[in-house]
Amino acid sequence: MADTQALAGLANMLLSGAVEVVDLSAVLGPNTPLLKLPPELAVDTPKIEIHKISAYDENGPWWAWNWLKVGEHSGTHFDAPHHWITGRDYPDGATDTIVPQNFVAPVNVIDCSAEAAADNDFLLTADAVKAWEADHGEIQPGEWVVMRTDWYKRNKSEDAFLNADETGPHSPGPTAECIQYLVDKGVVGWGTECIGTDAGQAGGMEIPFPAHNLMHKNNRYGLASLCHLDKLPPKGAILIAAPLKIENGTGSPIRALALVPKQ
């Protein structure tokens, strides 16, 4: 049975500020950094556009509103299983068919900020996750796992965020065995502060884009371009990451929120 007293306690802590709501989303607009794929491989997602319909003017005297042109995988966003070929057949794998219970879960925050600063191509390994668990406690089934790198601090500049040179983009991410370890733990999803859930160089890995390939193959989710993971404790916060209910959607921009007990 549900502990209604605990929920009443949470309600009070939200009202008093003892539990803070931390915004993990970046601003979504024409300056949002977007993924660039090799042109010989793929077509890119289009630049975001915000078009005015009216602003208390002759097109609508008492109201303001806009319409948007925005790809599903833009800015702080959710990757549904249908995004990847390995997850295409799950009946509950699109933005409109995922059970909403899965959008809200405890979050494990693995701090890789020092490693990512020292090596932009840093890869989180399964052994490093096991060492993190020895320090902070085991990752439980149904939980989110996110990789803190402080990479969001670069998101005002697409060049800095993508960090590409003649050898391609350079940004941190997970190894394939790391993702398989998390899948075996039963996590609901994996998130990062970078443009995608995979490392910049992940297209050339033995399994290309292993976070996408393996998470979605197992009907799990991805979160990309998260912000402010430096404001979260390693354990103890609750992450809310719900995509728009796009029909047959493969992903969606989100307002990612964390409920965090105040220190």
Chain contacts with ligand 23J (rule: CB under 6 A): 35, 37, 73, 79, 83, 196, 198, 209, 224
Phi, psi of 142 (to 5 degrees): 85, -5
Residue 35 binds which entry of Mn ion, ligand 23J, none, with Cβ cut-offs from 5 to 8 Å by kind?
ligand 23J
Nearest distance, CB of residue 107 and Mn ion, angstroms: 18
Which does residue 209 touch among ligand 23J, Mn ion, none (CB within 5 to 8 A, set by kind)? ligand 23J
**Torsion (CA) 171, 176, 177, 180 in degrees, nearest 10:** 120
CB of residue 254 to ligand 23J, shortest distance in Å: 12
Options 21-29, 73-81, 113-121, 202-210: segment touching Mn ion (CB under 5 A): 73-81
Residue with tokens 């949470």: 10
Q: How far is the CB of 55 from ligand 23J (least distance, A)?
A: 32
At residue 258, φ and ψ (nearest 5 deg) are: -120, 135
Site for Mn ion in 189-228 (CB under 5 A): none
d(CA 50, CA 28): 10
Q: From the CB of 196, what's the least distance to Mn ion, in Å?
A: 6
Q: How far apart are CA 75 and CA 224, in angstroms?
A: 7
Q: Is 83 a catalytic residue?
A: yes
Q: Distance between CA atoms of 143 and 37, rounded to whole angstroms?
A: 30
Distance (Å, whole) CA 133 – CA 161: 29
Give a three-class secondary structure readout of 149-190.
CCHHHHCCCHHHHHCEECCEECCCEECHHHHHHHHHHCCCEE
73, 77, 83, 212: the catalytic one is 83
Positions 74 through 103 that interact with Mn ion (CB under 5 A): 79
**Closer to ligand 23J by Cβ: residue 139 or 224:** 224
- Residue nearer to Mn ion on the CB measure, 243 or 260: 243
**CB closer to Mn ion out of 19 and 176:** 176
- Which residues are known to be catalytic? 83
Residues at the contact surface with Mn ion, assessed by CB under 5 A: 73, 79, 251
